[in-house]
């Protein structure tokens, strides 16, 4: 598989006086909706598009619920989802309060098979 990239010039946000540099930036080739993904799955399996949509909707509902319950969601070779927080520090362990948590972000770590696909990507300059 080939992924296209373009070239962008960026400055250093921590040092605006530093010379700008050029970086490769991955370019999207489009978007796929949940319905389109369900249709594709139904083409390569024995499951109908409607049944696939139902399962995907259920998965997309349960993942956030499980994360909100404090669980790590393991999806086999696809990868794992977990929560990460951005918080303020305290001087002592006793002074730590939940109010110091500023935001919670979902994180994803690709699994073995997912990484194989990512490692096989070739890049083409646009």
pLDDT in tens, 55-89: 999 999 999 999 999 999 999 999 999 999 999 99
Q: Taking the domains of the chain in order of start, what are their residue ranges? A: 31-65
Q: Is the pLDDT of residue 9 over 90?
A: yes
Q: Is the pLDDT of residue 25 over 90?
A: yes
Report the distance separating Cα 76 and Cα 84, nearest Å. Answer: 20
Whole-Å CA distances, 14 to 9, 10, 20, 87, 117: 16, 12, 12, 21, 34
């Amino acid at each position: 598989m080939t992924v296209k990239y373009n070239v962008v010039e960026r400055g250093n946000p921590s040092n605006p006086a530093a010379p700008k540099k050029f970086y490769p930036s991955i370019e999207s080739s489009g978007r796929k909706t949940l319905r389109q993904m369900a249709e594709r799955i139904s083409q390569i399996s024995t499951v109908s598009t409607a049944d696939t949509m139902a399962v995907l909707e259920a998965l997309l509902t349960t993942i956030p619920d499980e994360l909100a319950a404090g669980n790590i969601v393991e999806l086999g070779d696809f990868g794992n989802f977990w929560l990460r927080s951005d918080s303020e520090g305290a001087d002592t362990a006793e002074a730590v309060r939940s109010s110091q948590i500023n935001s919670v972000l979902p994180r994803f770590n690709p699994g073995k098979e997912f990484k194989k696909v990512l490692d096989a990507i070739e890049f083409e300059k646009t």
